[in-house]
């Protein structure tokens, strides 16, 4: 049984399970799916309510902390007990393109040439990790939620702002992957 769980799940199984979370959350208490609001709830729980953005009843959303904890626990279980020692399989065309940018380490899911303390202090590492992280955080706040909240929950409940946000996420992702990232990696 454990060997079956260790194999990658087909998209139609994983996608269906993710999709079923939306009606389950709605039926089990009119809850909304998404992860980015947890930072606001954590700040509201930890800091005095003298900042108007944090003046709300965050205790009604305490289930989100269990949701975030479940993500962390699931990631730990997956990496410690369900992952295989097999190397990451990367398409040969992508390997050739990455080699042009000096990315040759494919022993882990995240290449060390991009995701390490040493790379953080390079121009491309700083732009990718620090500037990119800031832009993701800013975009999440500006869009009023993250990709999971908008694309999974918002679209399934036919929210026009979520449709606009998801289209914007996709366009931004295509531009980043095909136009901006190759330039950054060439630095």
**pLDDT at position 2:** 67
The tally of domains found in the chain comes to 2
- Contact 22/156 with Cβ under 8 angstroms? yes
At which of 23, 50, 83 does a domain end? 83
Same domain, 75 and 113: no
Same domain, 5 and 71: yes
**pLDDT at position 160:** 95
Same domain, 160 and 78: no
Same domain, 96 and 38: no
pTM: 0.75
Give the domain extent around 24. 1-83
Same domain, 2 and 93: no
Same domain, 115 and 179: yes
What does the pLDDT profile of the chain (187 residues) look like in tens digits? 667 776 777 889 888 888 888 888 888 888 887 788 888 888 888 887 778 888 888 888 888 889 889 989 998 988 888 777 777 778 899 889 889 888 888 877 788 888 889 888 999 889 988 999 999 888 888 888 888 889 888 888 899 999 999 999 999 999 998 999 888 888 8
| Polymer length of the chain | 187
DSSP string spanning 46-97?
HS-TTSGGG-S-GGGGTHHHHHHHHHHHHHHHIIIII--SSPPP--HHHHHH
Same domain, 53 and 101: no
């Amino acid at each position: 049984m454990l060997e079956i769980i260790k194999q990658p799940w087909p998209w139609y199984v994983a996608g269906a399970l993710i999709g079923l979370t939306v009606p389950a959350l709605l039926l089990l208490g009119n809850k909304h799916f998404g992860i980015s609001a947890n930072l606001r709830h954590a700040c509201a729980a930890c800091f005095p309510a003298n900042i108007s953005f944090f003046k709300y009843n965050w205790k009604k959303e305490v289930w989100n902390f269990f949701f975030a904890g479940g993500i962390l626990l699931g990631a730990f279980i997956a990496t410690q007990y369900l992952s295989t020692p097999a190397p990451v399989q990367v398409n040969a065309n992508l390997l050739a393109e990455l080699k042009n940018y000096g990315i040759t380490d494919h022993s882990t899911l995240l290449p060390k040439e991009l995701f390490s303390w040493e790379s953080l202090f390079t121009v491309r590492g700083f732009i990718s990790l620090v500037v990119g992280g800031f832009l993701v955080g800013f975009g999440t706040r500006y869009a009023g939620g993250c990709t999971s909240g908008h694309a999974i929950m918002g679209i399934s409940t036919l929210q026009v702002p979520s449709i606009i946000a998801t289209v914007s996420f996709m366009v931004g992702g295509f531009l980043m992957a095909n136009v901006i990232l190759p330039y950054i990696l060439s630095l």
